[in-house]
Amino acid sequence: MGTDADPSIAPWQKGWYALAQAQPSPNFGPRPPGSQIDLVVVHSISLPPGAYGGPEVGQLFCNQLDWDAHPYFQSIRGLQVSAHFFIRRDGSLLQFVSCDDRAWHAGTSSYRGRDNCNDDSIGVEMEGLEGDTFTTAQYQAFAELLRAMAGPYRLAYVAGHEHIAPGRKMDPGPGFQWQALAPCMAALDLEGPAGIKK
């Protein structure tokens, strides 16, 4: 399978998931020809750190964040990043980049014998802090999203940012309960990080 989702599989349209709130980001590019989209990368983010429910994450991904609105934002001033999806604490789902396109979420990375994980992965940001816990609603939404993505995309792996960029990134961290996704991952035959059973 190449970069395009199967258009016959609802509710997907050109890589956009109909059940997510679309907020298109300019921070994306084309995937390399013939990319096999088989990896889901789990991240965690909150802006400012530990503050939940606000518009700041979406503003960051859409290059609309007011850098002067909070002292922390000075440390990320000018950053241009994105993820495909963002799952809020209440389980609501936002989408910023078509899954057929290359979002800018992984950075320098390597996993399952391949470098540049942005090329062939789907990035999912969980609203939270690395090392902190996440909500039941978030795990439920993530499992539903995995099931939906497994239709048009031939997913095989799920890993944290910490696993694809060890030593550089630590999210989502020890507070992320992989066992909460275990039944879903087992049903979809998805392989988790080393040492984590599905």
Residues 129-158 have pLDDT tens digits of 998 999 999 999 999 999 999 999 999 999
Q: What is the mean pLDDT of residues 164-182?
A: 96
Residue with tokens 């994980």: 117
Q: Give CA–CA dist 38/153, Å, rounded.
A: 7
pLDDT averaged over every residue in the chain: 94
Q: Which of 125, 127, 130, 162 is catalytic?
A: 125
**Where does the pLDDT of residue 6 fall: very low under 50, low under 70, confident under 90, or very high at 90 and above?**
low
Q: What is the mean pLDDT of residues 1-9?
A: 47
Residues 9-42 have pLDDT tens digits of 669 999 999 999 999 999 999 999 999 999 999 9
Q: Is 195 helix (H, G, I), strand (E, B) or coil?
A: coil
Beta bridge partners of residue 85, listed in sequence order: 95, 124
Q: What is the pLDDT of residue 3?
A: 44
Question: How would CATH label the architecture of 12-188?
Answer: 3-Layer(aba) Sandwich (3.40)
- Is the omega angle on the peptide bond into residue 30 within 30 degrees of 0, that is, cis? no
pTM here?
0.94
Q: What is the mean pLDDT of residues 113-142?
A: 97
Exposure string over 48-76, b if 16+ CB within 10 A, otherwise e: eeeeeeeebbbbbbbeebeeeeeeebeee
Domain boundaries defined on the chain: 12-188
Q: Give CA–CA dist 145/19, Å, rounded.
A: 9
| Alpha-helix runs per DSSP H in 129-197 | 136-149, 161-164, 182-188
Q: Give CA–CA dist 54/52, Å, rounded.
A: 6
Q: Enumerate helices (H) and strands (E) in the chain, giving the number of each.
A: 4, 12
Told to judge if 144 belongs to the known catalytic residues of this protein, a careful annotator would answer no
